[in-house]
Structure 1
Amino acid sequence: MRARTVLPATLAAVLLTLTACGSGEGSTSGSAAGSSSSEASSPAQPPVASNGSGSGAEGERVPKALNFTATTVDGKPFDAKTLAGKPTVLWFWAPWCPTCKGQAAETAKVAADNLGRVNVVGVAGLDKNAAMRDFVSDTGTGSFPHLSDEKGEVWKRFEVTQQSHYVILDKDGKTVHEGVLPGGKGLADKVAGLTG
């Protein structure tokens, strides 16, 4: 029964994605129209333990939003629990998206300027891993990890329905911003508000 409802929703998300790229428009409030709940965008999430340990980086409690694993575009395992305790920028992008390419330089600059204080993670989707690796190489964004989300599992987790989308979490894993930031403009200010 769930499969029947997921397929139309997935198709709608893909169609929205294809029409949104390059438009420079976006939302700064919810990620999916009409969505009812999200692990990542609900108000405060209490820290939860996963698989018994309940700890992320430096013994931090792991918020529900960061309780997932993935694989990087380089084929390495990635455990989001390691992001716990610091603000985190999740940048959802697609390799063929000109808006995403336009955000690359500013996103890389924010990552470099906040090294050790803020996590920046790219979440690539809507294409194959080879294209994702090429994007990272071509845009010079290899200084921070990029997840290969070919199946869209992380995108679904955060209810992202279009590429060139940012989800910014505070140190407790609460979503404090989500939406498109054309050219990455404003990203540095949003991050500074979480670190300063």
Structure 2
Amino acid sequence: MRTRRMVPVLALAVVLGLTACGSDDAGSAALDSTAEPTEAAMGDEQDESGDEAAMDGADEAGDEDATEDEGAGPEEDAVGDDASDEADGAEASGPEITGTTLDGEPFDGADVAGQPVALWFWAPWCTKCIAQAPAVLSLAAEYEGEVQIIGVAGEASEAEMPEFVERTNTGGLTHLADPDGEIWRQYGVTETSTFVFLDVDGEPVDSGRFSDNDLADRVAALS
């Protein structure tokens, strides 16, 4: 009878022991799962780290762009200053005239570059030219160093031209010999005692035949 009673007791003890072991394994598994981060958790941490790195990179790129933008201003200003300096330093070319004076000296318009010029087209036989000579001399003296008045003699032989200069006492002016009318044609002059006014670059700004008063106004405006 004792043997039969011991069998159920032993069986119960075995069952209880196995149950206890199973509980220990489950607890160990639970402890193991919390001991180390899961792959999902690690992925989240990596994403957050990547986001922070991306934000830092964007901030650095923005700072670099701002620095480049700040540095661009002075360079552009420097270019503008250089261009302005070049424009200010550009030299006037003067009238495109070449020839020979009545004194036999070569003449080049570049010699009067940077000064306005009044070209006086005359002929030795022109009575109006003779009558207007005193007004021309007066203006030449008044605007000396400001406006160059240059006579251009034509419609006659070169040998006839010095007599006009001596008669009108205009030897103090520069006179160009233009017996072939080359300079006259260059400026479209067809009448004697015509004046052509050139600016500091040698470009025509006015022309015509004028009274003494109108001539004085034109020269004053040119100075």
Instruction: Please report the TM-score for the alignment, with normalisation by the length of structure 2.
Output: 0.57
Whole-Å separation in 2 of the counterparts to 1:146 and 1:185: 23
1:159 alignment counterpart? 188
Unaligned 5+ runs, structure 2: 1-89
Query: Offset of 1:117 from its aligned partner?
Result: 1.0
Q: Which has the larger radius of gyration?
A: 2
1:71 aligns with 2:100: yes
- CA-CA distance at 1:71 after TM superposition: 0.5
Q: Which amino acid aligns with 1:187?
A: L
Identity score, percent: 45
Stretch deviating more after TM superposition (114-123 or 76-85): 76-85
Q: Deviations over 1:52-110 (max 9, x none)?
A: xxxxxxx83315xx122101111111111112111100000000010111111111111
- Describe how 1:88-167 pairs up with structure 2 within 5 A: 88-167=117-196
Match of 1:17 in 2: none
Distance (Å, rounded) in 2 between the aligned partners of 1:95 and 1:185: 23
Among candidates 46, 54, 60, match of residue 91 of structure 2 = 60
Over 3 Å off, 4+ runs: none
Which residue number in structure 2 is paired with residue 18 of structure 1?
none
Taking the aligned partners of 2:205 and 2:134, their CA distance within structure 1 comes to 22
Aligned residue number for residue 185 of structure 1: 213
Distance across 1 between alignment mates of 2:172 and 2:216: 17
Q: Structure 2: how far apart are the matches of 1:185 and 1:72? A: 28
Higher relative contact order (CA 8 A, sep 6+): 1
Matches of 1:185 and 1:136, distance apart in 2: 23
Aligned-residue offset at 1:188 = 1.8
Q: Which moved more, 1:172-181 or 1:83-92?
A: 172-181
Question: How much has 1:185 moved relative to structure 2?
Answer: 3.1
* Structure 1 unaligned residues grouped into runs of 5+: 1-58
Count of residue pairs brought into register by the alignment? 134
Greater share of helix: 2
RMSD: 1.5
1:194 equivalent to 2:222? Answer yes
TM score, norm. by length of structure 1? 0.65
Q: What is the distance in 2 between the residues matched to 1:185 and 1:91?
A: 16
